[in-house]
Amino acid sequence: MTGEPGDYNDFSKVYDAWFPLLFRIVYRMTGRRDISEEVAQEAFIKYYERRDILPKDEGLKYWLIRVVRNLALNYEKRKGRERRAVERHFHEPTHETGHEGERALVREETIQEVQAALLKLPYNLRIVLILKEYGGFAYAEIGKMLGITEGNVKVRVFRARNQLAQLLGKEGT
Amino acid sequence: MKTELYLLSAHADREVGPPWDQEIQRRIETDPVWAREWQTHQKVKAALAGLKDPAELEASQKQVRDRLEAFIEIKQNPIRHENTRLNFVRLLTTAAVFGLIVGGFGYWMGSHAASASASTVAEVHVKLPANYTPPLNGDSELIKMTSFEGSTR
């Protein structure tokens, strides 16, 4: 991983080292800049308040990832509750029904289409795929961060890519 | 075998070591199902790789840093009121004076209150004629007399 600081006691260095990674992960998870800023900010506030007792090595990186993972999950749950509340009130679904089910091959996708497809993945598949693709973590590291086995990570990455392929119409012929 | 297909994804991520990586490569080259799945995963990886860092990354990093610096500043230098101690003394004094006033009023009220309790009995010593029987209730208490019986005094 690039950007690892030599002195973990320096809050500013830790911030500069890990903010891009955390922001990138949350942005891919939520698709929202404001949520990504809020989650990253909250993670660093928690770090600041606990910096004296937190690990100073690789453990800090995993701790930060777990914090943003949990905060992003809370956002996900809140978003789901709000969407269900709207659906109950207006008696109609609110999720997009754009390209779901279409099998047409798409040669060039816009960034928005890929991001939108990512957001449609179930949370537990999306998080492992994003940690792999945008965090650059090994399967073993992802398993450690999420509290699952390496084998479980492999299966989830496989399923995530398969579902994403269906959403993007990229299934091979 | 379909149950091992999930290893294709790991193979694409170079997460499969020897000798399984060679076996997977062989199946990709010889099995059409594996070949199709391999193509799918490669295309998905390429699509995901096309998502660059969000353009807002730098601006967001600066914005969040500014907020955190303000947060840390407040944490390290909490706002202190110059008259905090004096205000506390004032509050205590006011509470004490108020308590005295309320307590004194309550005591005054209590000392002038007429008891309406039926169980409170005033002891009165009177001289009555020998043949006079004062009306008493079941608790041997004098029943209130509504007329002045002058002849019996």
Over chain A, what is the mean pLDDT?
A: 82
Structural domain includes residue B60: yes
Q: How far is residue A38's CA from residue B60's CA, in Å, rounded to a whole number?
A: 10
Judged by a CB distance cut-off of 8 A, whether residue B70 touches chain A is no
User: How big is chain A by its Cα radius of gyration, in Å?
Assistant: 18
Q: Are residues B39 and B69 in the same domain?
A: no
Q: Are residues B47 and B1 in the same domain?
A: yes
Our CA-based measurement puts residue A90 at a distance from the nearest CA of chain B, in whole angstroms, of: 34
Q: Are residues B1 and B46 in the same domain?
A: yes
Extended beta strands in B86-151, E state:
none
Q: Are residues B37 and B62 in the same domain?
A: no
Our CA-based measurement puts residue B80 at a distance from the nearest CA of chain A, in whole angstroms, of: 21
Structural domain includes residue B132: no
**pLDDT tens figures, B56-93:** 899 999 999 999 988 888 887 777 766 666 778 888 88
**A32-70 as b/e: b if 16+ CB within 10 A:** ebebbbbbbbbbbbbbeeebeeeeeeeebbbbbbebbbe
Structural domain includes residue B114: no
Number of structural domains, chain B?
Answer: 2
Judged by a CB distance cut-off of 8 A, whether residue B8 touches chain A is yes
Q: Are A114 and B64 a contacting pair at CB < 8 A?
A: no
Nearest residue of B to residue A39, measured between CA atoms:
B64
**pLDDT tens figures, A19-39:** 999 999 999 999 899 999 999
**pLDDT tens figures, B87-126:** 788 888 899 999 999 999 998 898 877 555 555 666 777 7
